[in-house]
A and B are shown apart, each in its own frame.
Chain A
């Protein structure tokens, strides 16, 4: 066994909850040091989640696909919500897949803490690694589903990747940062107040219906008033517009996109800061 004492790191933990600027720098450096841990957890979960099913990893794509099929049948065919939109299927698929990225990250944010309680109680590491790994895990599933999007949207709606596809990495990056903040915020609230876990599915469902996913833009066009304002204040409005520009070559709604950018910064940074400030108390509630 090695006889050299390698590290003489000194660290003090007090009740003081606000990390200083240099504290944040150390936190980011630690996050980087623990990056392989986050990746390992994400890949482990990706495989383990459906390890006992025969379709395994395919469920990552199959789940949102079935969801989209149900919405297409109910809202596209039954209610004839297409309203003359020829690309309705591509519209619906892009919306459901992107929204699903946010919805699954929100649920797994809190779960990532609860599932790893043994590690949290005994080992010291930057806790933000856990929501991070949740975003990686669901993000990999989302990226796979983009391939499936073209496999379906090409033969049905003739949608193929064009030059605007170069915006896709930026869209995924912004979306992932937004999701990280959201997952951190849900985890930070759901650990002391487990009731949040019961609310999350209802919130995401309402949010889905309020986003331009199962209905085309023509539904709210010209309606104006509070409905139009509420719709464009929704961060999903601008994010989806950005995605549809990248994936389908649609026109970008600049105003909605700027609103979405503000949301991304607010939720992303706000969620992370709130999580990190409270992570020392987390073990007390496990």
Chain B
């Protein structure tokens, strides 16, 4: 049996954040502190495995820990507890190309994100025309990114990600944007990735898409796993559950 593409074992992540109190004269005089720090638990003892070639969905309310979990799998963030083992290269894709620098041109952003992924400049130059063609950007590629529409941004982000040929693609709320043409194109590209033995992990609020695409789904609630299983049953249980206030 092939080892899983991603194994997450007992992962916990906590952020420290400040709660500001309304400054009042009495508080200033009495000298009570205006800020106190609290610990926000984003993930709590999360364990699961994702097999090679699988499409794995993450669902849950806002603040349930989906994005944090993707960051831990992308290994840009070290967990406070537990460990993560990943077999292969990952590429993260976020809504509206949030990994870009809006002041720079599309061209410079292509190089920036390629180089940040560890590619050589020559390799990016070789891929460059394909990336621009696939994103359908033509001469807009030399304009600063802040002039792009949201559709153009997601097309560019998706095109870069797919040309990096990741083994594991991490998607955070990407598929909700973009027109129908782009959506079908991106689904085709993902199918290609799965065919060549890749793995897709997708966090999304568009539940029908999750049911349609995924082989298995994980439901996170306030940083804990509520359920893992077949898309139909997990999504149905999630939809039926009463809303929980984000922690």
Contacts and interface: CB of A to CB of B under 8 A. Distances in A.
Interface of A: 1-15, 17, 30, 33-34, 36-37, 40-41, 44, 48, 118-125, 280-281, 283-284
Given A1-B192, A7-B89, A13 B75 contact: yes
Interface of B: 13, 15-16, 71-72, 74-90, 92, 94, 98-101, 103-104, 108, 111-113, 115-118, 120-121, 162, 165, 167, 189, 192, 195-198
A122 B101 contact: no
Dominant SS among interface residues on chain B: mixed
Residue among B88, B197, B198 with most chain A CB within 10 A: B88
Given A3-B196, A4-B196, A44-B108, A12 B85 contact: yes
A283 B71 contact: yes
Contacts of A7: 88-89, 167
A40 B111 contact: yes
Nearest to A283: B77
Contacts of A14: 78-79, 82-84
A152 B198 CA distance: 62
B99 A280 contact: no
Contacts of A123: 74, 76, 92, 99, 113, 116-117
B77 A280 contact: yes
Contact of B74 (A34, A36, A40, A124): A124
B71 A12 contact: no
B89 A9 contact: yes
A37 B86 CA distance: 24
Contact of B78 (A4, A15, A37): A15
Contacts of A284: 13, 15-16, 77
Contacts of A5: 88, 167, 196-198
